[in-house]
Amino acid sequence: MAKDLIVLDPFPRTVEAVFDTQQFARLEGLGEIVRIDSRNDPASLDAVIDRAVAIIGQPDLAEERLRRAGKLRTVINIEGNFFPNVDYDHCFQAGVSVLSIAPAFAYPVAEMAIGLALDLARGITSADASVRTGGEVYGSRGNAHAGLITRSTIGIIGFGSIGRAIRRLLTGFSVKILVHDPWLPAGAIREEGCEPVALEELLSRCDTVFVSAAVTSENQHLLDRTTLELMRPDAALVLVGRAGIADFDVLLDMADKGRLRIATDVFPTEPIPADDPIRRSKILLSPHRAGGMRAALSTAAEMILDDLALILAGLPPVRLLQARRETVGKMRSKPASYR
Amino acid sequence: MAKDLIVLDPFPRTVEAVFDTQQFARLEGLGEIVRIDSRNDPASLDAVIDRAVAIIGQPDLAEERLRRAGKLRTVINIEGNFFPNVDYDHCFQAGVSVLSIAPAFAYPVAEMAIGLALDLARGITSADASVRTGGEVYGSRGNAHAGLITRSTIGIIGFGSIGRAIRRLLTGFSVKILVHDPWLPAGAIREEGCEPVALEELLSRCDTVFVSAAVTSENQHLLDRTTLELMRPDAALVLVGRAGIADFDVLLDMADKGRLRIATDVFPTEPIPADDPIRRSKILLSPHRAGGMRAALSTAAEMILDDLALILAGLPPVRLLQARRETVGKMRSKPASYR
Amino acid sequence: MAKDLIVLDPFPRTVEAVFDTQQFARLEGLGEIVRIDSRNDPASLDAVIDRAVAIIGQPDLAEERLRRAGKLRTVINIEGNFFPNVDYDHCFQAGVSVLSIAPAFAYPVAEMAIGLALDLARGITSADASVRTGGEVYGSRGNAHAGLITRSTIGIIGFGSIGRAIRRLLTGFSVKILVHDPWLPAGAIREEGCEPVALEELLSRCDTVFVSAAVTSENQHLLDRTTLELMRPDAALVLVGRAGIADFDVLLDMADKGRLRIATDVFPTEPIPADDPIRRSKILLSPHRAGGMRAALSTAAEMILDDLALILAGLPPVRLLQARRETVGKMRSKPASYR
Amino acid sequence: MAKDLIVLDPFPRTVEAVFDTQQFARLEGLGEIVRIDSRNDPASLDAVIDRAVAIIGQPDLAEERLRRAGKLRTVINIEGNFFPNVDYDHCFQAGVSVLSIAPAFAYPVAEMAIGLALDLARGITSADASVRTGGEVYGSRGNAHAGLITRSTIGIIGFGSIGRAIRRLLTGFSVKILVHDPWLPAGAIREEGCEPVALEELLSRCDTVFVSAAVTSENQHLLDRTTLELMRPDAALVLVGRAGIADFDVLLDMADKGRLRIATDVFPTEPIPADDPIRRSKILLSPHRAGGMRAALSTAAEMILDDLALILAGLPPVRLLQARRETVGKMRSKPASYR
């Protein structure tokens, strides 16, 4: 009798990039593994779909294919976003858990966000450059624009796993945290010790604003000139979600005029065009490196193994992000630069 | 009858750099103020010393002068270090509290230390430069050396107000913290949730090491090649105390060879000589800007006002650093670049 | 055209016990309300089921009835446990969220658990009685068995909302926390700063053990003589989940012999039989009062309103406990004393 | 040549009650030990005073005796309070550190305070009694007066080591903490995340008030009818400092009338007189057991050893409480029941 299978279809990642030797051994302990590449060889998936209990990857899973996947209990997206190439309704009805490794990126991204905010607050990058060119200014004379995070007011736009990780990392900083998240009721935000506010209030009250919202059908260019003008003079803005939420022409203008201090890890077009003026702007620039790092993928592999073991034991997954019927259709992420 | 006086002798700072209008008004509420400059006009201090109940500044206070200061109850150093131009023994015997604003710099310095550590962990400064020159590498491919602070092992050398502030700021990072401080017993370090260790153990176990020790007669070049070689490959070292604790020739060599990642806010000679090779090194360079900033002086002014009010009310000061009989003689700080 | 309805069927609670005036007004703002009592008048539910978008209560919802509930999007159990009188499979397939107010009891129960543990540690209840009868013993002579929670090792059996609340309340106590929860992978427990262990290890290492597990088909009499004998001499055991997890005859025997210190908020039979020897035992007795209190129901009402508003806006609920396909069938709770 | 001595004069404690075998061995490693009982044999102290570098105990140390103690560097009071039988001025001038083990009692007392507060909030003691007499009331019906500490407003009167320990233990309870301490400036209280307020404001705003102030010449009967009437109806008051701060006749009256919920670990006369009506009152009674316990003395011994080692090495003590010139004369504690 044919065995149940765990199907590995990791494109554009590789199995080796996700699982180290020890983790892969643990994976093999959970069931029979088959490795395929459905992107380049769609038939490879069709050949095993009826025996698959789990698929790790982000293959096309239209209804027709899913109808043949009678044993399937979970699809684990390892790109980090839910794409529209899966018939989610079918999965919800059939009790197939569709999961994503997105939470594994929460602390990596949040640490980068804090690092960028401290750089904006203290001018670390520009001061280092000044010493190299011999124009450094010492002590308080160089600190005219420097500020503290401690005891300041912080805004977080988008309170998913990244936003919550930012909040947690800031525990020791004695900050007041305002949160704007239209998918969360006030009480859920207060439970985390934060103050729920409307976007406008958040922008106008905060010293530093972190943007960690996913791009959805509802928040394109939420940060345009009108809303950004609400920010306090010299306030700091750190973008670590998707770029689409902000109008970058406005960001560029406001940073260069000294109206705002801005750092971003995301860009409207990646790679950044060679002649994009942002390369010469006053924005602190991070080439989409907040999440994709070895430590994140190692955490992701652990989360996959943990949840897969639970599912195969008839228990609900608890570590990965579970696609929810109500929101999965609102996501507008395109495959990113495969962090 | 001549009134008791609060003497302001702030050189090399200015009264205005320390006290804002509101704070100065509060100071005036505490007593009669006289402003002098004993550095340039020693007689100005002698003219009022017998009526002084408090001196704010760091004037020369040899025994002879102190013997005439019969009403003096406190000397508040606003430079940040205790200098040898005061007869501390006389002060201790006479019940004169000698205080310093050093604690006001704790969070400013600690935030800079965390910012430098995150920069070393993620390459923020070098990545920004790479985008400007068009050579950026995106995502995980650019993150080969990136690491997380979260769940890592942190070392703190010197557990005074700066070291403790670093510990507190890291509360949300779920780190294990090892502390080396020869002036503290193990129990005092454990009380703060840290593990007391010898210097060698600290260096060999930690992913990131913060050096926030004061320079004393005992710790000159504590970090030389022998001790630094104990550090783990690619470990990070962040210097925010006085430079004298480390051998900078060795730091330069180890950073440039990729043996360690290093950031420093302090330098053996400040300003850094124009031709100092450190300007072209791989060390992340901060021109002594960790502490001296408006927010720190504002906190200092508040601490001065608070403690002065307590002392004048016959209560012990609680906010500033109090010189202690046993250690004040071991300090080897020279007047710094007046942060 | 008939309007969509929010059906209130709260038996054995009352609407007024759950919603205060202001909360009820907010509820009315979410839709048209109809109040029924399906327990005493089943037809009252059938009369409105086809127009119900939400049912607040725990009525019988067999498949037949649910098939007629075409507009139904959520069933919100306000008793606190998922009972077997609902066809959960049908709900999962139809996309009906089945929710419970259980999380509203987490902090009330956890605070009681900490209170009972401190009482066991310090003998508060027995010392108070001793003063009333004139036999009190003062100071350290009365504290021969007293211990501290601070820096001790704590065990939590069952790491749901109550167990997590206990962990959070203990944040300031510098404790080491061991967790046993067979439904959670090690990584999920470590993420909360706790150490995942097997039941036997937990019992043998901890100074104080909190039992906050739900009663399932799998954990009946998990704490029997064999496992309880693993506990350290004079260790403390606090029961705040369901009673079925422990063999109470053994608890009674071990408490009375001074082998363990025990407190319980739950009992095998409630009300406790008049002649139950537990009434005269050394066990600290709390008559099932850990969860049911005004503050808990107020929180529950807020959670209901928050999640109902989200669901009606097409968003996923985030505050109440959501029944999960994999585990809802394992629950063995009977309706309790309607806290 | 005669050796320097560490003099143990622990009456009314005993050496064995403070130091366990291992700790005593560590003590012997610090110097030559001589054990005396100056209370019953004053000459025993005079015989060694000239060679004593440290005295552990609370002997009479008038100026005459101290003048002969030329090698003395520290006096370590192990009773827990500074008594007036020491010439403190002489000690300050001579550079003798006078220390107390009071901080060792901070967490024991603070845990008891939290335990008493949770008992008042939930009626643990009275509910246990009700089950024993068969009159228990279950669930919410028994919880009419029950409240939560979580998210409530807490007052702390007296912000020394006990008050600070209470604050720290409450870290996980998401409370707002108001502090009244006339010896501390507002900024020092804010630094700990608390709000400094006047006594009247504290009493009128808080749900639970902890009194952990020392008795001084200034705060006798601070809590009289006028101030206590400011408290909210049904608010809770927990006394763990010295009894003299409150008018117990008023406490008794307000507790018995149901005006306030009150718990106390201290009493105006100890032992409590046999016919004191407080024995039959509604006050929750703890016979002065908050501090004196094995764990506290073990911590005290560690603190003594740590600080003694520092002092003998020429470093300042850091763990014990150091008598301060300004306040030691204001203390009004009498020797207590030797916790």
Strand pairing category for B208-211 and B195-196: unpaired
pLDDT of residue D200: 98
CB contact under 8 A, B287 and A17: no
pLDDT of A331 over the 80 cut: no
Query: Are the Cβ atoms of C271 and D148 closer than 8 angstroms?
Result: no
- D162 three-class SS: helix
Find the helix packing angle between B106-122 and B294-312, rounded to 10°: 150
Nearest by CB: B325 against D95, D303, D327: D95
Size of interface A-B (CB pairs under 8 A): 194
* Residues in chain D closer than 8 A to B27 (CB atoms): none
* Complete DSSP assignment for B162-191: HHHHHHHHGGGGT-EEEEE-TTS-HHHHHT
Q: Is C187 on the interface with A (CB under 8 A)?
A: yes
Question: Inter-chain contact B115–A119, Cβ cutoff 8 Å?
Answer: yes
Reading the block at residue B69, the tokens are 């200061």
Q: Which one, of A96, A308, A87, lies nearest residue C325 by Cα?
A: A96
What does the pLDDT read at residue A312?
96
The pTM of this model reads: 0.95
Residues A201, C81: Cα–Cα separation, whole Å: 39
From D125's Cα to the closest Cα of chain C, the distance in A is 5
Where helices occur in chain D by DSSP H, the ranges are 15-18, 21-30, 42-46, 63-67, 88-94, 106-122, 124-132, 161-169, 186-190, 199-205, 225-228, 248-256, 294-312
Q: How many CB atoms lie within 10 A of CB C243?
A: 19
When the candidates are 3.30.230.10, 3.40.50.720, 3.40.250.10, 3.90.1300.10, the CATH number that belongs to D5-101+294-330 is: 3.40.50.720
Determine contact, residues C304/C56, Cβ cutoff 8 Å: yes
D307 touches B: beta carbon within 8 Å: yes
Cα–Cα distance, C212 to C102 (Å, whole number): 12
Name chain B's partners: 3 or more CB pairs within 8 A. Answer: A, D
Whether C197 and C205 have beta carbons less than 8 Å apart is answered as yes
Contacts with D258 (C-beta within 8 Å, 6 or more apart), sequence order: D234, D282
- Residues in chain B where the model's pLDDT stays below 70: 1-2, 332-339
| Mean pLDDT, chain D, integer | 94
The answer to whether residues B301 and B68 touch, using CB atoms and an 8 Å cutoff, is no
What count of other Cβ atoms lies within 10 Å of the Cβ of residue D41? Answer: 12
Pick from B131, B132, B287: CB nearest A127: B287
Contact A310 C183 (CB under 8 A): yes
Are A5-101+294-330 and A106-285 the same fold in CATH? yes
Q: Do B314 and D325 touch (CB under 8 A)?
A: no
Rounded-to-integer distance, Cα A6 and Cα A312, Å: 11
Phi and psi at residue D295, to the nearest 5°? -60, -35
Interface contact A319-C183, CB threshold 8 A: no
Nearest to C100 by CA among C253, C230, C291: C291
Residue A172, chain B, CB below 8 Å: the answer is yes
Rg of chain C, C-alpha, whole Å: 22
A115 and B111 within 8 Å at the Cβ level: the answer is no
Is the CB of A95 inside 8 Å of chain C's CB atoms? yes
Give dist(CA A266, CA B58) in Å, integer.
50
pLDDT in tens, B36-48: 999 999 999 999 9
> Are the beta carbons of C67 and C78 closer than 8 angstroms?
no
Alpha-carbon gap, residue D225 to D246, rounded angstroms: 9
Which residues neighbour D55 within 8 Å (Cβ) at sequence distance 6 or greater?
D7, D9, D61, D72, D74, D75, D76
Note the ipTM here. Answer: 0.95
**Cross-strand pairs, A177:** A154
* Local structure of A160: helix, strand or coil: coil
Cα–Cα distance measured from residue C320 to residue C77, given in angstroms and rounded to the nearest whole number: 10
Does pLDDT of D329 surpass 90? Answer: no
Pairing of strands A5-9, C195-196: unpaired
The predicted structure's pLDDT at residue A338: 37
C326 shares contact with chain A (CB less than 8 Å) = yes
Q: Closest to A337 (Cβ–Cβ): which among B118, B138, B148?
A: B138
B118: which chain A residues are within 8 Å (Cβ-Cβ)?
Answer: 111-112, 114-115, 118
Does A282 reach chain B within 8 Å, measured CB to CB?
A: no
Partner residues linked to D246 by β-bridges = D223
Please tell me if residue A193 touches chain C, with a CB cutoff of 8 Å. Answer: no
Q: Give the per-residue pLDDT at B218.
A: 79
Measured in angstroms, the CA of B141 and the nearest CA of chain D are apart by 41
Contact residues, chain C, for D79 at CB < 8 Å: none
Beta-bridge mates of residue C177: C154
The stretch A172-193 carries a mean pLDDT of: 96
- Predicted confidence at residue A241, as pLDDT, reads 85
C170 near D CB under 8 A:
yes
| % of chain D with per-residue pLDDT over 90 | 89
Contact indicator for D101, D80 with CB cutoff of 8 Å? yes
Cβ separation A285–B119 shorter than 8 A: no
Å between D140 CA and nearest CA of chain C = 5
**CA pair distance B103, D255, nearest whole angstrom:** 45
Q: Which chains touch D (3 or more CB pairs under 8 A)?
A: B, C
CA distances from A159 to A162, A215, A223, A311 (A): 7, 13, 16, 27
What is residue D176's three-state secondary structure?
strand
**Domain-by-domain residue ranges, chain D?**
5-101+294-330, 106-285
Superfamily the domain C106-285 falls into: NAD(P)-binding Rossmann-like Domain (3.40.50.720)
* Cα distance between residue D137 and residue D130, in whole Å: 8
- Residue to mutate among B16, B118, B126, B141, with most A CBs inside 10 A, is B118
B93 touches chain D (CB under 8 A): yes
Nearest to D95 among B92, B183, B187 (CB): B92
For the segment D168-203, what is each residue's pLDDT rounded down to a tens digit?
999 999 999 999 999 999 999 999 999 999 999 999
DSSP state of D104: G
Q: Subunits with at least 3 CB pairs below 8 A relative to chain C?
A: A, D
Beta strands in B223-260 (DSSP E): 236-239
| Measured distance CA(B280)–CA(A25) in Å, rounded | 46
Name the helix (H) or strand (E) containing C226.
Answer: helix C225-228
Residues of B in contact with D319 (CB under 8 A): 185, 187-188, 191
Hey, is the C-beta of B16 within 8 angstroms of any chain A C-beta? no
Tell me the C-alpha distance between C26 and C225, whole Å: 51
Among D132, D279, D289, the residue with its CB nearest the CB of C139 is D289
**pLDDT for position B332:** 61
* Per-residue model confidence (pLDDT) at position D337: 37
> What sign does the dihedral C40-C44-C50-C53 (CA atoms) show?
negative
- Cα gap B10→A62, rounded to integer Å: 76
C293, closest residue in chain D (CA to CA)? D140
Residues of C in contact with D294 (CB under 8 A): 140, 143-144, 146
Q: Hey, are the CB atoms on C303 and A95 less than 8 Å from each other? A: no
pLDDT score, position A333:
55
> In this complex, do B150 and A114 lie within 8 Å of one another by their Cβ atoms?
no
Is residue B299 left, alpha or beta, with left meaning phi > 0 and alpha meaning psi from -120 to 50? alpha
- The predicted structure's pLDDT at residue B339: 35
Tell me the angle at which helices D21-30 and D294-312 cross, rounded to the nearest 10 degrees: 10
The alpha carbon of residue D254 is apart from the nearest alpha carbon of chain B, in Å, by: 35
Burial of B334 (0-12, 13-18, 19+ CB in 10 A): exposed
Tell me, yes or no, if B302 comes closer than 8 A to chain D by beta carbon. yes
Tell me if residue A252 falls in helix, strand or coil: helix
Would you state the pLDDT for residue D335? 44
Q: Is B24 on the interface with D (CB under 8 A)?
A: no
Structure tokens at A119: 């750089």
Give C130-180 pLDDT, tens digit per residue.
999 999 999 999 999 999 999 999 999 999 999 999 999 999 999 999 999
The candidate with the shortest Cα–Cα distance to D153, out of D203, D222, D213, is: D203
Of residues C218, C223, C188, the one with CA closest to residue C203: C223
Q: Is A185 on the interface with C (CB under 8 A)?
A: yes
Select from D177, D153, D174 the least CA-distant residue to D166: D177
Q: Token pair of B308, please?
A: 């002065």
One digit per residue, the tens of pLDDT, for chain C of length 339 reads: 567 899 999 999 999 999 999 999 999 999 999 999 999 999 999 999 999 999 999 999 999 999 999 999 999 999 988 989 999 999 999 999 999 999 999 999 999 999 999 999 999 999 999 999 999 999 999 999 999 999 999 999 999 999 999 999 999 999 999 999 999 999 999 999 999 999 999 999 999 999 999 877 788 899 999 999 999 999 999 999 889 999 999 999 999 999 999 999 999 999 999 999 999 999 999 999 999 999 999 999 999 999 999 999 999 999 999 999 988 887 765 544 333
Structure tokens at B145: 């050396």
